[in-house]
Amino acid sequence: MLSALIFDKLNQQIEIEFYSANLYLQMASWCDANNFSGSAKFLLEHADEEMGHMRRIFTYINDTGSQAIIPALQQPPHQYESLLGVFEEIYKHECYVTSTINELVAVTTNANDYSTLNFLQWYVAEQHEEERLFMGIRDRIKMVSDSATGLLIIDNELETKSVAVDTAE
């Protein structure tokens, strides 16, 4: 059974993962509208992955006998200056998500909730991967600067970059 504190924190994380999915959906829409079709496809798949992250927590809360609460969501920004701007924002956002997972780990450690602590290990590893992934894409876009050819090559690469959609629960 979850303590009230950990129940609240896990529900807050549901909101963060949901928001991540909507943020990447919105960014996919911007990419599509700005002729970056490879980036749009990549971000649509990543939005699905974030929904998987949300569902894992949803299922975990309900498996403990509690009831996950679906939150109202803030609208994500829909205007970006450039493809670099999009991926800089994603990297920043993922660093923020890492900080929220770390906080959850600290709270569950202090509460001696070893089941939730164990559950969260998957997210700790996932955040490491996500930061590395998005830092790499951001840095490659920085390398080509404003070169249209360079941006199109990266956009093509992103079209085929596979994102393993997380359906595990």
- Interface positions with ligand OFO (CB under 6 A): 17, 20, 50, 53, 94, 97, 126, 130
Least Å distance between CB 62 and ligand OFO?
19
Q: Three-state SS across 60-75?
A: HHHHCCCCCCCCCCCC
Least Å distance between CB 147 and ligand OFO?
28
109-112 long-range contacts, Cβ below 8 Å, gap at least 24?
111/3, 111/5, 111/6
CB count within 10 Å of CB 138 equals: 19
Least Å distance between CB 122 and ligand OFO?
11
Residue (128 or 142) nearer to ligand OFO, CB: 128
Spatial distance between the Cα atoms of 67 and 44, rounded to a whole number of angstroms: 28
Residue (50 or 113) nearer to ligand OFO, CB: 50
Residue (94 or 113) nearer to ligand OFO, CB: 94
